[in-house]
Structure formats: structure tokens, C-alpha cells
Chains A and B, each alone.
Chain A
Amino acid sequence: MSATNQAPTPKRSLWDYHAIFEKNSIILVLGILVAISIGGLVEIVPLFFLKATIEKVDGVRPKTPLELAGFDIYVREGCYLCHSQQVRALRDEVERYGHYSLAAESMYDHPFQWGSKRNGPDLARIGGKYSDDWHRDHLRHPQAVVPASIMPRYGFLEETPLDGAHIADNMKTLALVGVPYTQDMIDKAQEDLSAQGSPDSPGVADLQARYPKASAHEFGADKRPLTEADAVIAYLQQLGTQIDFKIYDNKANIR
């Protein structure tokens, strides 16, 4: 600025056009929307089309009806408020929990359960780590098995019969958003639901043909109605077990 008494001759610089935004709140809001959508479009839209977003991995299958029912109870009870389901690609996490999570592993979760809150441990690789009995003991009374635990008791889950009436509708809805449930899977939902709760039942072979590697559990579904705890345990026991990391090629999926 010159220190003369004369006002400097106005010259139109680039900044001057900016005054339009500064002086009209509606135009400012529109400008903000445009700026944000550019960020959003450029960052998010390609992910929808990118084949590379979800790596191709063998073994990931949709959840069985019983596991799906367990998933819904998991969401209903807010387990995600204390448990994440994503092993990040960081050394300490891989050391503790096992192979880092792949996008493919949660591609059939609606909504996904990655989470960021870890009052309790990550559960992405919990499947097969404990026995069904332990999960039952632990859900009923966490402090009985882990005295210092702050996890609440979920004993009511094993007293509540599982309401599986709508499981086929649930699967139909998920099929609409891209989970590859076939008509056969949807038609046989009730059979598969109870077969997974009794390993000796004849339906187990069919279940495993539809859902490879699905494991049947000694829940006694042939003797008593399945409970919500059974469903949650079936869900927990398959978490992180679908991909065989012994044959999974890490190098092919470096990106």
C-alpha cells in the first residue's frame, strides 16, 4: 500500500472475483457444495467401478441363514460399539490377531462391522479361536471366565428362542443389494437354519454344498429350539475363517 493520501487505483485482481462468494451467503453455500462434491466424486466414485477395490479371493461365501441371524443380533445388541472387525495392516495388529483383513471378507456384510471402537479385542479373526462352550460361558457371564472383563452379560440371548421366521425375506433383501444368495438358498433357508444347529442331521451335507466349509454346531437343534445365543456363536465361529491364508497369495494383492 502506498502511504499517499490518494486511494490506490483499483485494479481488478483474481481475488476480486472472490468477493462474490464473500458477499452472498447463498452463492457461498453453492460454492461449498460444488467444492465438496468434487472431492467426493473424485475420491469415491472410482471405487464403485474399480475392480481392484475388492480383491478377488477364493472362499468368501455369503453367510448361512443361522450366521446371518447371528449377525443381525450382533448388530442389534451393539457389539460393534466395543468390538471392531478389521485387522489393520500394521505389524502389531497382524502379530496379535493374524492376517490383516481383506475387503473381500466383509463384502457381504450389510452394514459392515469394521468399526473403530476397541473397548474389547478385534473380532475379525475370532472364528475357531475358542470353543462354542466358551462363547456360551462368556456371553452368559464374561467375568466368570475373564475376571477383569468389562463386557456386559448377554445371558438372555440363550433364553430367547431364535425368531427365524423372516430369514428368507432377509436373504431376499440382501440379494437385491448384491449378496449372491441363489433362489435355492432362499427356498431352503429354514432347512439350513436348523441343520446347522445339529451336526448329525441329514441336512448338513446340503448345507455345506450350498455354503462351502460351513460348520454345523452341537446345539441340539433336533431336541430344542435354537436360541439367539446359538446364532451369535455360529456367526462368531466363522468370522475370519473363510479365506485359507496358507494358499492366499499376498504378493498378487499388493496395491
Chain B
Amino acid sequence: MADHAHGGDYDAATGKTTTGHSWDGISELNTPLPRWWLYTLYGCIVWAIIYWVLFPAWPWFGGATKGLLGWNSRTVVARELDELRASRSAMNDKLAAASLQQIEATPELLAFARAEGAAAFAQNCSPCHGAGAQGSRGYPNLNADRWLWGGTLDQIHTTITHGARWTADPDTHAGVMPSFGRDGLLNKEEISTIADYVRTLSGNAPDAGADLAKGKQLFIDNCSPCHGEDGKGNVDVGAANLTTQVWLYGPTKADIMHRIEVGGGGVMPAWKGRLDESTIKALTVFVHTLGGGK
């Protein structure tokens, strides 16, 4: 800033004053800040004052100043969400009103439901079921025509809504496979014999010399209450169909023996509450039309 106080000398060569500092006879010109810079600074100060008046600004003991415009990030987001919902509501209302079967029968609704379902699937389901719904060990492949809890629209809808073995939801699918080995219900040899037989149900080869007749008997005694005598499973208790090439935990004899050893069942979260009903419907239609739907 200008420094007249200390009596800067006038410098005739430049027509400016000096700061008054002098080092070994060399003095310094007093060059003020460029005007444009100063005016920008003043402009910012004015802007800040206007901002304080219009927008929430100063915290004070009874709460922050509210600002004349009444602007508030929480009101804004609430309004934006309302607008978003309103922009989708025409289609969403139709989804909510239509039955799952009607949605699939109406091309316009079907296209919308599949698009919305695909987006919701990527965000919520793909970490478990895979980006292409192909599944992985312990997480079922949803493209396949092999269902633990049933592949009709209504069955899929129930599974997504209430999950499987999701204890926080009282209506969740329940029922686990007993731990035959760990709880001593079957010994190692019996488990091996049954596993050989189970492999034949899906057309896989048993170990050489396997006693399939004994395996079948053990299967009927121990496993058929859930998996059925033919091994085709039971969607009421989530017992897997053992006669297909699609496996939740794997087709090898070791995989099957391990399953008989430990039993149990996979856990799928309930989505009611986290996702709204029209999104769940869209997901149902999306999953149903992946290829395996019944």
C-alpha cells in the first residue's frame, strides 16, 4: 500500500514516489496494486455481504442466520427428489397399479420395468449375484431355469421382498439343511456313499465301485423329506434341485460331501423397506425375463 507517512521522495524519472526505504542509497518505488486487482477484491467483499444477507451464513447462539431467500440444502434436496419422483410417476404409478403378469404382457411397461430393474440390479444385487446375474459359489445364478425358491413371477417377488433366512424379516424364507456330518447324523462313509448317488441324479459319474443302491436308500431315508425322492428339490423349503447341471456350491464329490457335512443355507437380504414396491416389481420382472423365468 502507499506509504506517504514516512515521507517517500518524489522520483522524477518515473513520476512516482518511493517508499522511503533506502539501502545503500538505492530506494524502492512505491508501486500500488493494480486497480483491477483491488476492484476484484472489493467486489468479493461486496459479494460476501450480499451472500450473508441472502443465504444461511453466520452461526449464532440461537441457530445460524437463515438468509432472506430461505434457501436450505435439505429443502432443496427434498424438492429435487419430489421432482424426480414426479417425473417418473406416470410410469411408476402404472407399474404399481399393474399386476406382475400385466407388466410382462404390456410391451411399454415391460421395457420400462426391465430398464429400471437393470439399474436397480446393478446397484443392489450385482455384488452378490454378479453383474450379469450369473452368480458365484453360494450366490445363485438367476439366468438359469433352476430355482431354490421358485421361478414364477410371484415366487420371485416374494423372495426379493422378504429375502431368504433374513432374520430381521418375519416373512422371510426359512429352513436350512441339517449339518449331517458335523452333528453326527451320518458318518464319513455314509456321506461318501450318498454323495456318489447324488452325483448320478444329475447324470454325473460316481466314483468307481460306488454302492449306488445303498446310496439311494440313505438318500431316501435322510434327504427325500426336503429334496424329494427323485431329488428334484422343493421350493417351499428352498431345497435345491439336485438333478440339473446348475449348482449353488459346485458339482464335485467334494463339494457335495462338504454340503452334507455342514448343511446350512444361504442368506439373501429382504428388500422391502430399502427399495420401494415399484422398484421391487421392476426387479422381479427383470429377473423373470433374464431367461430362467417360469
State the A residues within 8 Å of B (CB).
Answer: 1, 3, 5-8, 10-13, 15-16, 18-19, 22, 42-43, 46-47, 49-50, 52, 89-91, 94-96, 98, 100, 128-134, 137-138, 144-147, 199, 215, 246, 250, 253-255
Contacts and interface: CB of A to CB of B under 8 A. Distances in A.
A16 B3 contact: yes
Nearest to A14: B1
Nearest to A46: B59
A95 B80 CA distance: 11
A144 B137 CA distance: 9
A19 B17 contact: no
Select the residue from A10, A12, A144, A246 with max chain B CB neighbours within 10 A. Answer: A10
A131 B268 contact: yes
A134 B127 contact: yes
Given A3-B15, A98-B274, A19 B1 contact: yes
A51 B74 CA distance: 18
B5 interface: yes
A50 B61 contact: yes
Contact of A131 (B58, B76, B267): B267
B136 interface: yes
Interface string B59-74: 1110110000000111
Identify whether the interface residues of A are mostly helix, strand, loop, or mixed: loop
Interface of B: 1-10, 12, 15-17, 58-61, 63-64, 72-78, 80-81, 84, 123-124, 126-128, 131, 136, 138-139, 166-168, 266-269, 273-274
A46 B274 contact: no
Contacts of A128: 168, 269, 274
Contacts of B126: 146
A11 B4 contact: yes
A2 B124 CA distance: 75
28 contacts: A7-B7, A7-B9, A8-B10, A13-B4, A16-B4, A18-B1, A19-B5, A22-B3, A42-B59, A89-B73, A89-B74, A89-B77, A91-B80, A91-B81, A91-B84, A95-B81, A95-B84, A98-B274, A128-B269, A129-B269, A130-B128, A131-B166, A133-B138, A133-B266, A147-B131, A199-B167, A254-B74, A255-B72
A10 B77 contact: no
Contacts of A199: 167
A144 B266 contact: no
A138 B59 CA distance: 43
A71 B78 CA distance: 31
A131 B8 CA distance: 78
A95 to B, nearest CB: 7
A7 B5 contact: no
Contacts of B9: 7
A109 to B, nearest CB: 21
Nearest to A133: B267
A47 B59 contact: yes
Contact of B6 (A3, A7, A19): A19
B61 A130 contact: no
B181 to A, nearest CB: 15
Contact of A10 (B4, B72, B80, B124): B4
